[in-house]
Chain A
Amino acid sequence: MKKNIVTPIAGALLALIFLVILFLFQVRQTEVAVVTTFGEFTRSIMKPGLNVRWPWPVQKIYKMDNRLRNFERKFEQTTTSDGKNIMMTVFIAWKIADPKVYLQRFRDDENQVEQALESVVRDAKNGVLGQYSFGDLISTNRAKVKLPQVEMDMLGMMQKVASAEYGITIELAGINRIGLPESITTKVFDRMTSERQRLIRQFESEGRAEATRIRAEANREKEKLLAEAQAESTQIRGAAEAEAAKHYAVFEKEPELAKLLFDIKALKHATRDRTTLVLDQQTPPFNRLNAKAQMAAPAKK
């Protein structure tokens, strides 16, 4: 008897769990569900809670995430109204509005939703951007930038298709990356480099010009100082000549002696350095080397 109690309890418990799994299902607060009976739509469940079902394969339950989902498009090139090329990434946030339509259209396959929305996003993006100029997208004047208006226009275009055909609602469309095509990017780099080169040349020229000015002023000051000194020196030398001349008056007393003294003084100075003299035998005192002259000299006397 004891053996027979436990076994039925265990069996009943397993059976209960099995039955719960087969006949009941939960819908979370983040979900909506669609119930189909032999493939036919039966009902949508929009509120969370416990629900009853017939087991598979009679009824099938499709649970779908009812929260806002988001996805991002590729970084794609497009053209503005003034013919400028620009690259953009657009992202959108969407949620299920009509579970039945959504299930019919996409069988709850998020990849299929994104493939369908991708075309819609591209169409809206290219269509809307064709209405705006490049200056509407980029400007140092923030009031002129119309990106929010572009996003609103894109959302409006996408929303029409999505709500009418897909059973979803798009609540947000945003541009989260803006760039330029590779070829234009290279040119922008070149231009930016040229701008910098211009500044480099400007700064270096400013430096050279200032340096030249400073050097010229220094040279001018130098020449001025030297010229003034030269003038002063000349003046001093003149004064020295005048003052010395006062002393030379004494030489007038005996001019012949003065000339002799000046001559021998000059001779001293003239023969100070390497000097080679070529003298004949008539030059005193070398005339003493001449025997005839030496002999004759006393005779003359």
Chain B
Amino acid sequence: MEKTPSKNIWTNFLILAVTGAGAFIVAARGGSMAGLLASIYSVVGILVTIVSFMHMRHYRAEEFERLEVEKLRERESSVALFESEGDVLRAKRAREQFEKWFVPSWTILITLGQGIAAYMLYAFFARKDLVNPDEGVALLQCAFFAAFALAQYLFGKYSVGLARYDDARILRPSGSYLMLASVVSVLTAVVSSATWFGYPDFDKHAAHGLSIILGLLAVENLINLIMEIYRPRVSGREVHLLYESRLVGLLGQPGGIISTAAQTLDYQFGFKVSETWFYRYLERVLAWLILLWVSVFLVSSSFVVLEPHEEALLERWGKPVVGREIIGPGVHVKMPWPIDRIHRYPTKAIQRFHIGYEPDPKLEEERVLVWTKNHYKFEYNMLVASRDIKSSSTTNGNGEEAVPVNLLTASIPVQYEITNLFHYARNHADAGVLLERLASQVVSRYLVSVDIQDIMAQGRIRAAGELKTLLQLEADKFALGTRIVFVGLQDIHPPVKVAKAYEDVIGSLQQRETFILNAEGYAAETVPMAGALARQMVLAAEAEKISKVRGASAESGQFANQVSAFLASPEVYRRRTYLQTLVEAIGGARKYVIGTTNAQDTYWLNLEDAIGDELTNVKFFDEKDQAPRQGLNE
């Protein structure tokens, strides 16, 4: 019985080392973060086990020394063999020195290790670019961790049970770590099965949680160290092992809380209320839980429900199931996993891709699409042949011809459906991507053999039909199992950089029509107006003619009458007519009458600039001396 704890602690060490190494290898192979955390917990357990082992060696040496001293004292009871007790109880002193210096130092190292590891792992698991665990080995990983958990649980439970005895209490820290490691292994097994079912994120979340718990353990150790400084030292009182974590004990044995309460009841009532009732309960129901889990799993994997747009390949041990190679929408019964497996495909759904551009969700909201503005995130320039480029101007002095091409951008949406799932899924790893590449090939090959003006105008609808036919031929040639539903040339125009020049051509056509229409407007205005003017001229002449002839006629008639009056009294008639006319003619005119007594003098009046002025302002010049003379009033 004496050597049992020592053997047991060695066993714990071996179990932790083997399962920790195994957890690391399996987790590294499967890419499981939770599995890596499980191996780290085992490493911490190993460190605790090492210090427990050293501590136990000191206790054993002290016990051996105590027995030796007692035997010697019984034999030589009356003789003082030693001058002082300190000379003989060296093992005890060594144990005390160990507890005073080594244990705190070791605990500080463990705490630092836990804290740093927890911080680094927490930061690492918070990254977005973590790779998901491998689904292919998830089930194998689950089995391994279940086995690790079983071994850790059995040996941990045994150690914790044995630690209830005073001489084996040193086993409790390593036993608790084994129990905690078993819980972590079970958790890893569960998240591995979740990974296999297609939920790889569970692994990351579990790893995240485990890294937080590692940090909490470090905090607890730190608090224990501080509390140890202020703990009152009472001789003979059992000390708490500094490297023993209460949190580990709690997490490793959740039933411990109930067990503690049960032990209190035992003491109160004086009989064993529980003993290990939780263990017995677990032992009784564990097998049922396993059977239930397996049954639920097998039953749930025996049914499959396919949505209306889906079909699936049904495989038994990897081979197509004869007569049921492809199953359609609805509920289907199949052999449970891993015998039968299905692989779903959206065969009835329209699938689509784009040629010539990469869509941009922001730009797709634009309500107006013009050539001079990008419609998409990227628009690829595609080479198109050109008939116009054959002119002599395209050859330079060295006889080198210009590149006989034009560039355009085209956005071509392609829609297809899966018509032959065997061909689609069995012949090609990614038939959709291959179809997209074949479509790009067909479009490129088509465009390099058509003229840009043809494809942008009358050849556009024909081109869409031809592209669809050509793409279907290519898809059939490589047995893609797809039917091309639609190929459209939804945008086909010159690249944005030259689109304005193309628009300007349309503008110049309008300008040409504007020039012509303006000229036609001028003609439409000028000719009728000229006609009207001509007519006006003729009519005016005619009116003049009428006026002239009638006037002449009237004057001749009047003259005949005036002749008789004239002949009757020529002078009187002459003077009367003269004066009558003078009154009518110059009655309203301004008149200056120059009174003169010397009729021989000649006066010269310069009226060029003075018309309208008072005659008194007019300067008179003498013809002889040309000197100005006084005005009339002077």
Contacts and interface: CB of A to CB of B under 8 A. Distances in A.
A156 interface: no
B320 interface: yes
Contacts of A138: 383, 385, 404-405, 448-449
B143 interface: yes
B338 A251 contact: no
B28 to A, nearest CB: 14
A193 interface: yes
Contacts of B75: none
Contacts of B318: 26-29, 31, 48-50
Contacts of A189: 407, 495, 497-498
A42 B590 CA distance: 143
Interface in A126-179: 134-135, 137-142, 145, 147-148, 171-172, 174-179
A40 interface: no
Contacts, number: 372
A233 interface: yes
Contacts of A135: 404
Interface residues of B, number: 130
Contacts of B590: 275-277
A279 B501 contact: no
B549 A280 contact: no
B115 to A, nearest CB: 36
Contact of A69 (B405, B429, B502): B429
B527 A218 contact: yes
Q: By DSSP majority rule, is chain A's interface helix, strand, loop, or mixed?
A: helix
B96 interface: no
Interface string B215-228: 00000000000000
A225 B533 contact: yes
20 contacts: A10-B288, A26-B338, A28-B318, A48-B318, A93-B434, A141-B449, A178-B383, A179-B382, A200-B505, A204-B515, A211-B518, A214-B519, A219-B526, A229-B537, A230-B534, A235-B541, A236-B545, A244-B552, A276-B591, A284-B579
Interface of B: 139-140, 143, 146-147, 284, 286-288, 290-291, 294, 313, 315, 317-320, 338, 380-383, 385-388, 400, 402-407, 425-430, 433-434, 437-438, 440-441, 444-445, 448-451, 478, 494-495, 497-498, 501-502, 504-505, 507-509, 511-516, 518-520, 522-523, 526-527, 529-531, 533-538, 540-542, 544-546, 548-549, 551-553, 555-556, 559-560, 562-563, 566-567, 570, 573-575, 577-579, 581-582, 584-586, 589-596, 605, 607, 611-612, 615
Interface of A: 3, 6-7, 9-11, 13-14, 17-18, 20-21, 26-31, 48-50, 65, 67-70, 72, 83-84, 89, 91, 93, 134-135, 137-142, 145, 147-148, 171-172, 174-180, 184-185, 188-189, 191-193, 195-197, 199-201, 203-204, 206-208, 210-215, 217-219, 221-223, 225-226, 228-230, 232-237, 239-241, 243-251, 253-254, 256-258, 260-261, 264-265, 267-268, 270-272, 274-281, 283-286, 289-290
